[in-house]
Structure 1
């Protein structure tokens, strides 16, 4: 579901940029799951398609008790997901660094696989990786932030495990988190 691969006859697939795609190709060719002793948070999330990655973020918000009208914002420029705290009178804090959702507050997110700076139309930019794989500022959330939030949400963990099951052999591990090194 990556538009880059759907548009054009031939595309170069660099492992540095498309590690997850390479794993999918290996699986399709050999029908064998790759066994890893450990992978990084970024590698685990790179196994998701762009739509699955946005769905994961949508589930994080929904499973935290926030409202999101759709998993894709569609017509809002540079905004993929909107999350709103309609359900509680007190704020909801999510992640570290924390995002604080005050009652009735709408927070907008732009979801990117690779980004080095905050996208201005959104309140937060979610990126699998940044230069040097570091948190560049509190408005750019990276893979470690995502995985730490997911870890606290059993339903989201279940979804992620099912989504990655076709790529990773968890014969010994009961969850992708037993393979992810932080």
Structure 2
């Protein structure tokens, strides 16, 4: 499962709960989680797993995106808001999990940029063939893909910073091997 933060906002869950007049036991029952888990979500001490978020949102009468705060929707957000783990999204898209991980992380489509649709006897662009899998419009998927592509250098720099903290010697080796700081 992805460790990538997807924007869950406990304050939004509290507000939705209040607006719906939903008790913790009712939310727990409808979301199929423990009352303790709901209490931790409400307190902001725990983030719901991707497959739990849609059930939690339904229990308080909102969409999964309504329980999150993000500056720019990326592919990871659309996946989590659809209630899928990385593995189940990869399967739904008909690709290997590692291939999907790279796509979601970097926003680079590679061979997924278009797919031949035999029943249409033509090639169909990523935004058109994958949008129904995510449950969004092609335009929203295209924007999320572009946002993922633009965010990749930030994510890459953060990962490199963590490597440098943990193992400076290995980070130096990476810099030499790549010819620049990753």
Q: TM-score, normalised by structure 1?
A: 0.34
Greater strand share, 1 or 2?
1
Greater helix share, 1 or 2?
2
**Between Structure 1 and Structure 2, whose CA radius of gyration is higher?**
2
Q: TM-score, normalised by structure 2?
A: 0.34
